[in-house]
Amino acid sequence: MIFLADRIYNGEAWQQVTYHEVFHQWFYGLVATDSFQEPFLDEGIAMVLADLLRNIERQPNYFLSNFAYTELRRYGSREEFIHRAYNEAANYFHDVYRQLGEQEFLRLLSDVCRRYAGRYFAFADWEAMLKELQSDEDI
């Protein structure tokens, strides 16, 4: 069940917000993430999936971001939290999407769901799966 404020439906963001919240059913719902220690993980994945569903491209970030490993209490303001945990993290996941291609990226997310359904999933697990995938491609 998803609750959205009436004001969401009065603007143009309703589709993005609705998709984003639905994707939280997988990333922090089905696959447990720690939204206090690593809020960027489920927010970034939900953002990129909502973007992909709406055919929204983000500017290449080339993995140069400081969003990772920032605990919720370490953000100085709401604006910094939104910028880093949502936007920079989404840019990062878009970069991974571009690097892997759509089919491989979605397969990776499916693998995450299979391996971590009902279990805790950390950014270190994501990085390990990416390394594993890249080493498989080198063979």
Predicted local confidence at residue 108, as pLDDT:
96
What residue spans of 8-138 are helical by DSSP H? Answer: 14-23, 39-53, 78-81, 89-100, 102-116, 123-138
**What is the distance between the alpha carbons of residues 135 and 112, in angstroms, rounded to a whole number?**
17
- Residue carrying the six token digits 């959205």: 4
Predicted local confidence at residue 14, as pLDDT:
80
> Which mean pLDDT values do the consecutive 10-residue runs of the chain (139 residues) have?
72 80 88 91 93 86 67 88 89 92 95 94 94 75
Predicted local confidence at residue 65, as pLDDT:
63
**What is the distance between the alpha carbons of residues 139 and 136, in angstroms, rounded to a whole number?**
5
Question: What are the structural domain ranges in the chain?
Answer: 6-138
Phi, psi torsion values for 100, nearest 5 degrees: -85, -30
pTM: 0.84
Asked if residues 119 and 29 have their Cβ atoms less than 8 Å apart, the reply is no
Asked if residues 55 and 89 have their Cβ atoms less than 8 Å apart, the reply is no
